[in-house]
């Protein structure tokens, strides 16, 4: 597996495949890898001649300085995991390599980012849009792989690809979970041993919502989720939304939607955890 540190090295590496017409898959990550990231690599390996993972903790997508400072950085271990997973190359640039100076471009994704992550993390999706655009321009991938774990991020990137005519096919891969249901996340290592079991209640709250949504409707489901999480004082819910699965607009009438996303963000031990579940309505 090749470790590429510069934009030029990535371009040279990818061009060696592209000039032969061989497909290249990109898996963008911020490192501190787990099975969720590796599942994206595995999917890419099946569909491309070369899979390149990027590892870059993107400062411009953090709206909270301490979250950025505390973000785990484990490059050596990440490299071992990627090598074992059969990844072909890793792009791990320095901050200086990615941003010679702080970018002046910003992006606004309209209604798609006025809710949930966008509403609670101002500027977050602009930073995501800029770094993913840069990666698409540098790598010129045929395919790019993202996780449903960050559903709103995927929808934002899908919009960006459409708006800016990037020549890449996007793939949204399923959420990989721990045995107790907690969605895998690089931030999970920051949970205390005492509170780690409580984190599983977040997924349970989504399953509760899924089980009652059709019978009880939106408002009662929201109340029940609130009451369920309130039983665990360690958890501080930030939001629980029942949203359209494509536009993320809040759902009022279930019958008006075919795909519904149940999305939540919860603080535990000062760590912000997000999770979601997509449910199909049976009305259509």
Catalytic residue annotation: 37
**Bridge-based pairing state of the strands 24-29 and 143-147:** parallel
Among positions 134, 143, 149, 272, the unique one binding ligand AMP when judged by CB under 6 A: 149
Residue 132: both structure tokens together: 């993913």
The neighbouring-strand residues paired with 177 are 183
Residue with tokens 């597996």: 1
Among positions 129, 141, 147, 245, the unique one binding ligand AMP when judged by CB under 6 A: 147
Residue 23: both structure tokens together: 């497909």
Q: Judged by CB under 6 A, does residue 41 bind ligand AMP?
A: no
Nearer to ligand AMP, 151 or 242 (CB): 151
Nearer to ligand AMP, 79 or 221 (CB): 79
Residue with tokens 């000039």: 19
Nearer to ligand AMP, 67 or 216 (CB): 67
User: Cα separations (Å) of 194 from 197, 267, 270, 275?
Assistant: 7, 15, 14, 21
Q: Which residues contact 22 (CB under 8 A, 6 or more apart)?
A: 48, 49, 50
**118: closest CA among 267, 203, 110, 277?**
110
Contacts 24+ apart (CB under 8 A), 100-106: 102/60, 103/60, 103/130, 105/130, 106/130
Among positions 56, 91, 146, 203, the unique one binding ligand AMP when judged by CB under 6 A: 146
Q: Judged by CB under 6 A, does residue 39 bind ligand AMP?
A: yes
Among positions 92, 176, 212, 218, the unique one binding ligand AMP when judged by CB under 6 A: 176
Among positions 53, 85, 183, 260, the unique one binding ligand AMP when judged by CB under 6 A: 183
d(CA 140, CA 122): 28
- Give the binding range for ligand AMP (CB under 6 A) out of 3-11, 133-141, 181-189, 190-198: 181-189
Q: Judged by CB under 6 A, does residue 38 bind ligand AMP?
A: no
Nearer to ligand AMP, 152 or 221 (CB): 152
d(CA 80, CA 82): 6
Nearer to ligand AMP, 221 or 279 (CB): 279
- Give the binding range for ligand AMP (CB under 6 A) out of 15-23, 28-36, 96-104, 249-257: 28-36
- Give the binding range for ligand AMP (CB under 6 A) out of 66-74, 179-187, 207-215, 226-234: 179-187
Among positions 173, 260, 262, 273, the unique one binding ligand AMP when judged by CB under 6 A: 173
Q: What does the DSSP assignment read for 105-139?
A: -----GGGGSSHHHHHSTTHHHHHHHHHHHHHHHH
Q: Which residues bind ligand AMP (CB under 6 A)?
A: 29-30, 36-37, 39-40, 146-147, 149-150, 173, 175-176, 183-186
């Amino acid at each position: 597996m090749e470790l590429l540190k510069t934009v030029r090295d990535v371009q040279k590496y990818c061009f060696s495949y592209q000039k032969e017409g061989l497909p290249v898959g990109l898996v963008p990550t911020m490192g501190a890898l787990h099975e969720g990231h590796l599942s994206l690599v595995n999917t890419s390996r099946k569909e491309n001649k070369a899979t390149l993972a990027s590892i870059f903790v993107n400062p411009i997508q953090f709206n909270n300085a301490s979250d950025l400072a505390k973000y785990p950085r484990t490059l050596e271990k990440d490299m071992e995991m990627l090598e074992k997973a059969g990844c072909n190359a890793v792009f791990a640039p320095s901050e200086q390599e990615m941003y010679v100076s702080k970018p002046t471009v910003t992006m606004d994704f309209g209604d798609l980012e006025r809710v949930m992550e966008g509403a609670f993390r101002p500027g977050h999706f602009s930073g995501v849009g800029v770094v993913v655009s840069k990666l698409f321009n540098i790598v010129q991938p045929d395919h790019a792989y993202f996780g449903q774990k960050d559903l709103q991020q995927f929808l934002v990137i899908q919009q960006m690809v459409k708006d800016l005519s990037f020549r890449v096919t996007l793939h949204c891969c399923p959420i990989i979970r721990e045995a107790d249901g907690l969605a895998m996340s690089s931030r999970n290592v920051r949970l205390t041993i005492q509170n780690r079991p409580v984190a599983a209640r977040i997924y349970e709250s989504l399953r509760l919502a899924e089980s009652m949504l059709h019978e009880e409707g939106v408002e009662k489901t929201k109340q029940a989720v609130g009451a369920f999480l309130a039983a665990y004082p360690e958890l501080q819910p930030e939001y629980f939304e029942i949203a359209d699965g494509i536009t993320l607009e809040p759902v009022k009438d279930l019958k008006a939607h075919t795909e519904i996303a149940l999305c939540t963000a919860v603080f535990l031990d000062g760590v912000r955890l997000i999770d979601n579940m997509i449910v199909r309505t049976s009305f259509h």
